[in-house]
Amino acid sequence: TQLLEQSPQFLSIQEGENLTVYCNSSSVFSSLQWYRQEPGEGPVLLVTVVTGGEVKKLKRLTFQFGDARKDSSLHITAAQPGDTGLYLCAGVDSGTYKYIFGTGTRLKVLA
């Protein structure tokens, strides 16, 4: 079974700081999705990365897929309190065809 390990598990930063969240696996994924979940709500899809080395930007969020398609990162520039939430990476386990979620990174941005 493929696992998606995220780091860090928790992150508390001041408004305006930059941060990077990592999503790692020992296996290759055809694509990875990133979601953000705000307290009391369902996860919302942010982006899908497909091609090895691909970089996608969503305003202050930059997503990168590793060259070998085994890992991904999410970089937030000048974090704002509205970025607070649980960030999840996810993808299809090519062995079981199950959709698996990463362990999650809980981000809190303080004003």
Residue 39, CA distances (Å) to 30, 52, 63, 108 in order: 29, 32, 22, 11
Contacting range for other proteins; rule: CB under 8 A; set: 15-23, 68-76, 77-85, 91-99: 91-99
Q: How far is the CB of 14 from other proteins (least distance, A)?
A: 25
- Closest C-alpha among 95, 85, 97, 96 to residue 11: 85
Q: How far is the CB of 15 from other proteins (least distance, A)?
A: 25
Q: In the complex with other proteins, which residue's Cβ is closer, 12 or 94?
A: 94
Q: Which of 48, 64, 70, 75 binds other proteins (CB under 8 A)?
A: 48
CA distance 90 to 105: 12
Question: Residues with Cβ < 8 Å from 93, sequence gap 6 or more?
Answer: 1, 2, 27, 99, 100
Task: State the residues that interact with other proteins by CB under 8 A.
Answer: 30-31, 33, 35, 40-45, 48, 50, 88, 90-94, 97-99, 101, 103-104
